Amino acid sequence: MKIRYWSLALVALGAVECGGTTGGNLIQMPLQVGGIARDASQPFTFVTGQGWTVTLNQAEVVLGPLYFNIDDPSTASFRTGVVIVQATEQFIVDMLDPTLQNVPGGADGETGTAVSVEIGFYTTVNGYNDGALRGADGGAMALPPPLAADGQQGTAYLAGEATKQGAIVDFAGRVQITGSLVSNLDPVDQLARVAGACAGVTPPACSLEFTTTSGPLQLRVNPSFWFDQANFCNIVRPPPVQVAGDGGLGDAGARDAGPSVVSAGDGGVDAGAPIVGAPCAPTAGTVYDWADTNPFNSAVLEGMKGSAGVYQFGLGQ
């Protein structure tokens, strides 16, 4: 009951601080999440705004909390607008699975029409949105792999293959929001949220009418938009190249005791002649990841914050 009372207090507070009006009937409803409706037996393939053909074979994201506003929130201010419905827990979405899954705790609030939704992303920076992640039994759980591994925690995990003009980039890594990205111009509350997502159409022409007979609140996430500004060549790194030597023989004819010398490479040329016209020369068989400060990470993160088409909300029957 503690969360429920806090939820209703937040609604009332929003009405007082933002000048809006609420006063609807109290409601609770299930929250269901999943990937976009599609034939899951087929590969999830799309073409990005940068001309890369991408096939995803893994795609998970941690989202929450969700705040549904009857007024558009300010993109420059933290959690403005008038919240009438919210889901306070964080949850994981398998974006390749179109089957809707129930989120423990569901959503609650009051009746009314929401015109936009604020969505939080997972990050450990300053404890922002670092609430409890709930398992199927409703108990708190740690962030599981592959979202967390090797000392890293990501708001999303993405793996697959990207091709463009003959370049083939196999990738697998985490989209991370870390302290390295935070600055006075980019505070964490701007980095780790979608300011105003809509119900799958261009804002502000969207609405969710919450009534006492509304069915489950449903969210489908489409990650194809995330990559529109991402250049996969940014994660391609030249491999270390073995330097041709004397076969391990020293000046006296004895085999050297030390290891072979490894150079820093020459841009990937030694790994095989690049394809003419290809934007970069990835090494076949190499799966590339990326650091939090890599431009690829920032580009995907910006795509995650898209307001139209990425997060598709609806009310089921």
pLDDT of residue 21: 43
As a whole number of angstroms, the distance between CA 14 and CA 69 comes to 9
- Paired tokens of 152: 């890293």
Find out whether 95 and 222 touch, Cβ atoms under 8 Å. yes
The pLDDT of residue 138 = 66
Beta-sheet pairing, 112-114 with 208-210:
antiparallel
By three-state DSSP, how is residue 125 classified? Answer: helix
pLDDT at residue number 70: 86
Cα–Cα distance measured from residue 138 to residue 103, given in angstroms and rounded to the nearest whole number: 9
Could you give the CA distance from residue 30 to residue 91 in angstroms, rounded to a whole number?
13
What is the model's pLDDT at position 130? 56
The pTM assigned to this predicted structure is: 0.80
> Closest by alpha carbon to 297, among 183, 112, 184, 173?
173
What are the per-10-residue average pLDDT scores of the chain (317 residues)?
30 38 81 96 97 98 93 60 90 97 94 91 82 67 90 94 97 96 92 76 64 94 96 89 52 37 34 69 95 97 90 89
C-alpha–C-alpha distance, residues 70 and 165, integer Å: 46
Backbone angles phi, psi at 137, to 5 degrees: -85, 5
Cα separation, 92 vs 133, whole angstroms: 8
pLDDT at 20: 44
Q: Name 2's Cβ contacts closer than 8 Å, sequence gap at least 6.
A: none
For residue 253, the model assigns a pLDDT of 41
Cβ neighbours of residue 230 under 8 Å, at least 6 residues apart? 48, 50, 52, 296, 299, 300, 303
The alpha carbon of residue 301 and the mean position of all alpha carbons in its chain are separated, in whole angstroms, by 7
